[in-house]
Structure 1
Amino acid sequence: MTTPDRIFARRLYAGGGAAPLENRIVEMRDGVVQSVTGAEAPSGLPAYDLVAPGFIDLQINGAADVQFNFEPTAQAAATIAAGAREGGTAHVLPTFITAEGQSYRAAISAVREAMAERLPGVLGVHLEGPFLSPERPGIHPAEAIRVMAEDDIAAVEAAAADMPVLLTLAPECHDPGVISRLAQAGVHVFAGHSAASADQIAAAEAAGLRGATHLFNAMSQLSGREPGVVGAVMFSDKLYAGIIVDGHHVDWRNVALAAREMEGRLCLVTDAMLTLAGQSQGFDLLGKAITLDGDRLTDKTGRLAGAHVDMITCVRNMVTHCGADLATALHMASGIPAEALGLQDSLGRIAAGYRASLTCLNEALEVQAVMVDGTLFQG
């Protein structure tokens, strides 16, 4: 890794879904972009075919043979971030899924420590449960699912004072006042693993709901007389959503439909597990044997158990299978996730004053390097 003060982009996707700029030099100092100027490529500068704002993965459970639930430590979070960089991701929210009792507190402490130590790429924490619907557990252990208690609310509020916190819960299992309180504390509340009706989602949105986790998966679906979570989120003009674009979790046509209806609100996420950028071909997840077959992770019943996909593959899939132009797909991987976290003034664009976090690609959309706050990690 190095800390160059300038890099050259033959095509610069500065953000916001805008068309690329040709032949640009990005100058940086102390981890912050100082200027973007036009010039021919000077000799001696790191040069890349395409440079985009650094990808942000809002939902990643593991990578590089480390699963955050198995090892909720600062070093594990850093290892997951390093594994994610192989797929072009600059910043991650290590994701801790449903576990017994108040196990999630270890995840909060781990991310707090990682951020205090400035371990590269660790942006905040995603708590996916245990405050979900027992009707839509997915791969989560149903016996550990429960409603938030007062001490849970206080713990998550305290975490949000230190870092970005994304909390996935089932809105129908919680009073809108709980969502309002969390939102006012700065928690980014997403609906997920939820059987909520569209009216319940609308009430939660009015209370401060921010979005939905892995759209289409583990949630009530759109039907003729009940829009469900999927329909309510798509109908909204404010709610964000993550979506797993691996060809297994959501049909390409549904991805394309969501992208069209949710322009500027749909985020690419990986939901990756420890097999990503690792050597493992399987693992035990809370008593369930999970195996990797090609690029698909399932339990013995065939139920999907997270994903084995990286962000750059999701970007390519948006272009190849879902009809998105490259600028839009890159925005879904960077600028929109930044907006969902309220970080649009510091991440998701390449402009003076923004954090120097970049994803550098070749013409084949392969990752060549990732810069995190001014530090360049070569692919």
Structure 2
Amino acid sequence: MRASSECTNTFSDRHIHGLAGVDFATSSVSAIRAVLSLLASRRTTGVTASIPTVDRATLPNTLDRLRCLQSDGLIDGVHLEGPFLAPEYAGAHPVGAIINPQEERGRLFLETVFEYQQYSQLITMMTLAPEVPGFEHAVEQLVRHGIEPALGHTAADYHQMRHGIALIHELTGQPVTITHLYNAMRGFHHRDPGPVLAVAEAVASGEVIVELIADGYHVDLPLVRWWLDRWPEAIRLVSDASAATLPRGVEPVIAGRPRLGHTELHYPQATGPQLTGSTTLASGGKDLLTIHENLVAAGFDHQRVCAAMQR
């Protein structure tokens, strides 16, 4: 979608778990419909429902509820953020539910996912870490079933991340999505550059699309500006919002303690949503409309910001 100079177009959020008390993984269909209407009123009309790491027993009910919303044209698809992640970079994901595709639980999880793909292309993307056992075979299966493998929540070293990007790019012929770069992944060090250097190299060669959470809590805004100035066409701005994300002036659609799948959160005071009883950031603190307004107020280029929210 082409952005106008005034950015009157709507946004597409490719990584969002919910908003205003509603969790895409666990809330009722009626509640999700209500929050999708709220998002549309705030210019986010394209929604990929992100589901955090959940166990296999929970997955069918979640997918059944979301499939009817996709059939009605209310969501573009489902992004499974897990369960094949690095436990040490789980972030808000429950470590006990993280598995790898090589173990029996992992194989059964994939079987369930692929059963749903036979009836509709509901699941559009899955985030996994490139160093998990069975990564290569899982990626081949995902691509064969029409699911885009994305990379994130990873303890990968430079070579593992470079290999993961190259494999997916070769299989799909498309840029590989990097799930919220910097967050929930090994950081950069001059003697251990880790996944960040591999991503930077891949951006320069057109092999990746980089997600950034530009809510002011997850990534420093000068760093967001640095990426947008250098590789604007490779940047995708996402909210990573959750049920605990509450835009100013908006009341919760559902009362009570907000959730992120299996995990309880609490509404933030001066930062993004956090795990209950913890200071760990659990999701984005703003929706795309608020992020857009804040970035433009900070002097970011209108067209670049809008294009990055429509990618």
Into which bin does the TM-score normalised by the smaller protein fall?
A: 0.7 to 0.9
Could you say which residue in structure 1 is the equivalent of 2:281? 304
Give the drift of 1:219. Answer: 0.6
* Helix, strand or coil at the partner of 1:172: coil
Deviation, structure 1 residue 87:
2.7
Is 1:162 the counterpart of 2:121? The answer is: yes
How far has the Cα of 1:57 moved from its partner?
A: 0.6
- Render the CA deviation track for 1:260-315: whole Å, top value 9, x for unaligned: 34321211111111243443585355464523214532233311111231112222
Query: Does 1:293 pair with 2:269?
Result: yes
Higher strand proportion, which one?
1
1:294-344 Cα shifts (integer Å, max 9, x gaps): 4532233311111231112222333333x531111110011x2xxxxxxxx
Change (3 A) 1:80 1:131: farther
Which amino acid is the alignment partner of residue 171 of structure 1?
P
Match of 2:81 in 1: 128
Partners of 1:87 and 1:225 in 2: CA distance: 44
2:92–2:282 Cα contact (<8 Å) kept: yes
Q: Which residue of 2 aligns with 1:62?
A: 18
The answer to whether 1:84 aligns with 2:4 is no
**TM-score normalised per structure 1:** 0.69
Q: How does 1:28-67 map to 2 (within 5 A)?
A: 51-52=8-9, 54-67=10-23
Q: Deviations over 1:16-41 (max 9, x none)?
A: x6x64xxxxxxxxxxxxxxxxxxxxx
The answer as to whether partners of 2:16 and 2:239 remain within 8 angstroms in 1 is yes
Q: How does 1:139-150 map to 2 (within 5 A)?
A: 139-148=92-101, 149-150=106-107
1:100 & 1:163 partners in 2: Cα distance? 18
Larger Rg: 1
- Deviation string for 1:345-379 (max 9, x for gaps)? xxxxxxxxxxxxxxxxxxxxxxxxxxxxxxxxxxx
Question: Structure 1 residue 60: deviation in Å?
Answer: 1.2
Q: Where in structure 2 are there 5+ consecutive unaligned residues?
A: 170-175
- The AA in structure 2 aligned to 1:330 is C
What is the aligned partner in structure 1 of residue 293 from structure 2?
Answer: 316
More helix by share: 2
Q: In structure 1, what is the Cα distance between the partners aligned to 2:194 and 2:178?
A: 12
CA spacing shift, 1:287–1:88, aligned 2, 3 Å: closer
Residues 289, 217 of structure 1: alpha-carbon distance in 2 compared, 3 angstrom cutoff: same
Match of 2:172 in 1: none
CA, structure 1 residues 184+207, in 2 after alignment: closer, same or farther (shift >3 Å)? farther
1:96 maps to which of 51, 71, 76: 51
Q: Sort the Cα spacing of 1:284 and 1:125 in 2 relative to 1 into closer, same or farther, 3 A.
A: closer
Cα separation, 2, equivalents of 1:257 and 1:132: 28
Q: For residues 100-135 of structure 1, give each alpha carbon's deviation from its aligned partner in whole angstroms, at most 9, with x where no partner exists.
A: 33423333222222122x153x11011111221111
Structure 1 CA distance, aligned partners of 2:116 and 2:233? 28
Q: How many residues align structurally? A: 287
Distance 1:186 1:249, change over 3 A: same
CA contact (8 A) 2:17 2:49 kept: yes
Instruction: State the percentage of identical aligned residues.
Output: 26
CA RMSD of aligned residues (A): 2.5
Q: String of CA shifts for 1:206-255, please: whole Å, max 9, x gaps.
A: 22162111111001122213332222222212211221111111111221
Alignment of 1:197-208 (within 5 A): 197-208=157-168
C-alpha distance in 1, partners of 2:233/2:256? 36
Q: Could you list the runs of 5+ residues in structure 1 that have no partner in the other structure?
A: 1-13, 21-48, 337-379
TM norm structure 2: 0.82
> How many Å apart are 1:158 and its aligned residue?
4.6
Query: Do the aligned residues in 2 keep the contact of 1:169 with 1:191 (CA within 8 Å)?
Result: yes
CA change 1:62–1:327 in 2 (3 A) is same
Structure 1 stretch displaced more, 279-288 or 325-334:
279-288
* Secondary structure of the corresponding residue to residue 51 of structure 1: coil
Distance 2:231 2:115 in 1: 32
2:194 is aligned to: 228
Match 1:107 to one of 54, 62, 74 = 62
CA distance 1:87–1:296, shift in 2 (3 Å): same
CA shift for structure 1 position 156: 3.1
Alpha-carbon separation, structure 2, partners of 1:227 and 1:65: 38
